[in-house]
Amino acid sequence: MLRYIFKRLLMLIPIIIGASAIIFFILNLGGDDPVMLLLAGTEPDELTIELTRKELGLDKPIAIQFLDYMKGLLTGDLGTSWKTGKPVFEEYMMRFPATVKLAFVALSISVLISIPIGIISAVKQYSLFDNIGMVAALLGIAMPNFWLGLLLIICFSVQLGWLPSGGYGGLAFLILPAITIGTDQAALLTRMTRSSMLEVIRQDYIRTARAKGLVEKVIIIKHGLKNALIPIVTVIGNQFGHALGGAVLTETIFSWPGVGRFMIEGINKHDRPVVIGCVIMLCIMISIVNLGVDIIYAFVDPRIKTDMTKKVLRGGGLKCQKGQQ
Amino acid sequence: MSERTAVEIGTETVVATRKRVSQFSEAWSRMKRSKSAMVGLIIMIILILIAIFADVLVDYEVDCVTPDLANRLQVPSREHILGTDAFGRDVLARIIYGTRISLVVAFSSVTLSLVIGAMLGSIAGFYGGKIENIIMRITDVFAAIPNLLMAITIATALGQSIFSMIVAIGIAGVPALARIVRATVLTVKDQDFVEAGRALGGNNMQIILFHLLPNCIAPIIVQSTLRVAGAILSTSSLCFLGIGIKPPTPEWGNMLAGGRDFLRTAQHITLYPGLAIVITILAINLMGDGLRDALDPKLRR
Amino acid sequence: MTRVKKITALFLCLLMVVGVLAGCSGSPEVKTEPSAASADTGQGEKKIKEEVVIAVIQNPVSLDPHYGTENHSRMITTCMYNSLVYLDVETLEIKPALAESWELPAQNEYIFHLRKGVKFHDGSDMTAADVKYSLERCKEMPRAATYLTGLQNVEIIDDYTVKVTLEKPSPVFLSNISGTIVSIIPEGSGDTAGDKPIGTGPYKFVEWSTDNYVLLERFDDFYGGAKPTKYLRFRIIPDNSVRNLTLEAHDVDVAHQIQNADYTMLKNRDDIKLLIAPSVIVEFMGLQVSAPPFDDIHARKAVAHAINKDAYIQGVFDGEYTKVTSFLVPGAFGYNDNVNSCEYDLAKAKEELALSKYPNGFEFNCYTTASRAPYTEALQYDLSQIGVKMNVEFVSSVQSHCAAGYKGAHITSVNNAALDGDIMYNYLHSSKKQTGGNLTYFGNARVDELLEKARFEMDTQKRADMYKEIQDIVAAEVPIIPLHSIIAIVGTDSHVKGLKSNPTTVHEFYDVYYEY
| CATH number of the domain encompassing residue A191 | 1.10.3720.10
- The nearest CA of chain A is from the CA of C12 a distance in Å of 8
Q: Which of C9, C316, C370 sits opposite B69 (nearest CB)?
A: C316
Chain C's closest residue to B290, CA to CA, is C1
Query: 3-class secondary structure for C323-367?
Result: ECCCCCCCCCECCCCCCCCCCCCHHHHHHHHHHCCCCCCCEEEEE
Residues A48, A192, single domain; the answer is no
Residues A96, A240, single domain; the answer is yes
The dihedral formed by the CA atoms of B300, C4, C5 and C11, expressed in degrees to the nearest 10: 170
**What pLDDT is stored for residue A42 in this prediction?**
66
Residues A38, A127, single domain; the answer is no
Contact B261 C381 (CB under 8 A): no
Q: Which of A29, A151, A318 sits opposite B140 (nearest CB)?
A: A318
Task: Give the CA distances from residue C303 to residues B228, C148, C292, C298, C317, in Å, rounded to whole numbers and listed in that order.
Answer: 44, 39, 14, 9, 22
**What pLDDT is stored for residue C53 in this prediction?**
93
Mean pLDDT of all residues belonging to chain C: 84
Q: Which amino acid is at A242?
A: H
- The nearest CA of chain A is from the CA of B53 a distance in Å of 25
Residues of C in contact with A126 (CB under 8 A): 2
- Per-residue pLDDT reduced to its tens digit, B66-80: 667 667 778 888 778
Judge whether C400 is closer than 8 Å to chain A, CB to CB.
yes
Residues A243, A173, single domain; the answer is yes
Chain B's closest residue to A276, CA to CA, is B153
Taking residue C363's Cβ as centre, other Cβ atoms within 10 Å add up to 13
Mean pLDDT of all residues belonging to chain B: 80
Q: How confident is the model at residue C22 (pLDDT cuts 50, 70, 90)?
A: very low
**What pLDDT is stored for residue C145 in this prediction?**
87
Q: How confident is the model at residue C2 (pLDDT cuts 50, 70, 90)?
A: very low
Q: What percent of chain C has pLDDT over 90?
A: 37
Residues of B in contact with C21 (CB under 8 A): 271
H-helix segments, chain B: 6-33, 35-52, 54-57, 91-127, 129-144, 147-158, 162-172, 174-188, 192-199, 204-206, 213-241, 252-259, 268-295
**What pLDDT is stored for residue C12 in this prediction?**
55
Taking residue B134's Cβ as centre, other Cβ atoms within 10 Å add up to 11
Residues A62, A109, single domain; the answer is no
**What pLDDT is stored for residue B6 in this prediction?**
62
CB C216 within 8 A of CB C453: no
- Per-residue pLDDT reduced to its tens digit, C466-487: 999 999 999 999 999 999 988 7
User: CA–CA separation, C394 vs C30, rounded Å?
Assistant: 39
**pLDDT of C165 over the 90 cut:** yes
**A220 located within any domain:** yes
Q: Which amino acid is at C400?
A: S
> What 3-state DSSP class applies to A86?
coil
> Of residues C196 and A123, which shows the higher confidence score?
C196
User: CA–CA separation, C178 vs C97, rounded Å?
Assistant: 9
Strands C254-255 and C109-114, bridge-based pairing: unpaired
**A316 located within any domain:** no
Residues 10-29 of C with CB under 8 A from A: 12-13, 16, 19-20, 23-24, 28-29
> Of residues A299 and C135, which shows the higher confidence score?
C135
Q: How confident is the model at residue B280 (pLDDT cuts 50, 70, 90)?
A: very high
CB A58 within 8 A of CB A27: no
Task: Give the CA distances from residue B84 to residues B55, B258, C342, C374, in Å, rounded to whole numbers and listed in that order.
Answer: 19, 12, 34, 15
Residues A171, A32, single domain; the answer is no
> What 3-state DSSP class applies to C211?
coil
Q: Give chain A's residues under pLDDT 70.
A: 30-31, 41-43, 219-220, 223, 300-325
User: CA–CA separation, B3 vs A325, rounded Å?
Assistant: 56
Q: How much is the average pLDDT of C119-129?
A: 93
User: CA–CA separation, A320 vs A290, rounded Å?
Assistant: 8
**A83 located within any domain:** no
Count how many pairs of residues, chain B against chain C, have C-beta atoms within 8 Å: 76
Residue count (chain B): 301
**A108 located within any domain:** yes
**What pLDDT is stored for residue A285 in this prediction?**
85
- Residue C142: is the preceding peptide bond cis (ω within 30°)? no
User: CA–CA separation, C443 vs C439, rounded Å?
Assistant: 11
**What pLDDT is stored for residue B79 in this prediction?**
78
Q: How much is the average pLDDT of B126-134?
A: 82
Q: Which of C2, C403, C436 sits opposite A131 (nearest CB)?
A: C2
Judge whether B267 is closer than 8 Å to chain C, CB to CB.
yes
Residues A140, A267, single domain; the answer is yes
Q: Which of C20, C241, C374 sits opposite B264 (nearest CB)?
A: C241
Contact C12 A139 (CB under 8 A): yes
- The nearest CA of chain B is from the CA of C416 a distance in Å of 28
The most confident of the ranges A121-130, C31-40, C198-207 is C198-207
- The nearest CA of chain C is from the CA of A167 a distance in Å of 7
Residues A116, A45, single domain; the answer is no
Which residues, including other chains, have CB under 8 Å from residue C165's CB and lie 6 or more apart? Answer: C108, C109, C110, C151, C152, C153, C154, C155
Residues A111, A70, single domain; the answer is no
Q: How much is the average pLDDT of B9-17?
A: 62
Judge whether B69 is closer than 8 Å to chain C, CB to CB.
yes
- Per-residue pLDDT reduced to its tens digit, B34-92: 788 888 899 999 999 998 988 888 777 777 766 676 677 788 887 788 888 877 788 88
Last residue of a domain, one of A40, A74, A108: A74
- Per-residue pLDDT reduced to its tens digit, B133-145: 888 888 888 887 8
Query: Given 3-state DSSP classes, what are the helix, strand and coil percentages for chain A, each rounded to the nearest 5?
Result: 75, 0, 25
Q: Which of A284, A324, A290, A322 is nearest to A308 (CA)?
A: A290
- Per-residue pLDDT reduced to its tens digit, C274-327: 888 778 888 999 999 988 889 999 999 999 999 998 888 887 777 778 888 888
**A235 located within any domain:** yes
Residues 334-393 of C with CB under 8 A from A: 369
Judge whether A138 is closer than 8 Å to chain C, CB to CB.
yes
Q: How confident is the model at residue B298 (pLDDT cuts 50, 70, 90)?
A: low
- Estimate the crossing angle of helix A272-300 against helix A259-268, to 10 degrees: 150
CB C78 within 8 A of CB C506: yes
Sign of CA dihedral C353, C358, C360, C364: negative
CB A286 within 8 A of CB A320: yes
Taking residue C430's Cβ as centre, other Cβ atoms within 10 Å add up to 15
Exposure string of A140-171, with b = 16+ CB inside 10 Å and e = fewer, is: bbbbbbbbbbbbbbbbbbbbebebbbbbbeee
The residues pairing with C164 across neighbouring beta strands, listed in sequence order, are C110, C154
Residues 144-183 of A with CB under 8 A from B: 144, 146-147, 150-151, 153-154, 158, 165
The residues pairing with C156 across neighbouring beta strands, listed in sequence order, are C162
Q: How much is the average pLDDT of C98-114?
A: 93
- The nearest CA of chain B is from the CA of A208 a distance in Å of 23
Question: Is the ipTM of this structure higher than 0.85?
Answer: no
Residues A110, A54, single domain; the answer is no
Contact B268 C24 (CB under 8 A): yes
Task: Specify the pTM.
Answer: 0.80
Chain B's closest residue to A266, CA to CA, is B153
**pLDDT of C24 over the 60 cut:** no
**What pLDDT is stored for residue A324 in this prediction?**
37
**A124 located within any domain:** yes
The conformation of residue C119, written as its DSSP 8-state character, comes to: B
User: CA–CA separation, A5 vs A11, rounded Å?
Assistant: 10
* Number of independent structural domains in chain A: 2
Residues A70, A106, single domain; the answer is no
| Rg (alpha carbons) of chain C, rounded to whole number | 26
Q: Which of A30, A142, A323 sits opposite B159 (nearest CB)?
A: A30
**A163 located within any domain:** yes
Q: How confident is the model at residue B3 (pLDDT cuts 50, 70, 90)?
A: low
| Rg (alpha carbons) of chain A, rounded to whole number | 23
Sign of CA dihedral A123, A124, A126, A128: negative
Residues A102, A239, single domain; the answer is yes
**What pLDDT is stored for residue C423 in this prediction?**
85
User: CA–CA separation, C133 vs C185, rounded Å?
Assistant: 8
**What pLDDT is stored for residue C184 in this prediction?**
93
Residues 119-158 of C with CB under 8 A from A: 142-143, 145-146, 149
**pLDDT of C199 over the 90 cut:** yes
Contact B147 A142 (CB under 8 A): no
**What pLDDT is stored for residue A303 in this prediction?**
64
CA B294 to chain centre: 19
> What 3-state DSSP class applies to A145?
helix
Task: Give the CA distances from residue B34 to residues B28, B41, B286, C12, in Å, rounded to whole numbers and listed in that order.
Answer: 10, 11, 10, 20
Taking residue C508's Cβ as centre, other Cβ atoms within 10 Å add up to 16
> Of residues A215 and B129, which shows the higher confidence score?
B129
**A313 located within any domain:** no
Tell me which residue range forms the domain holding A198: 92-302
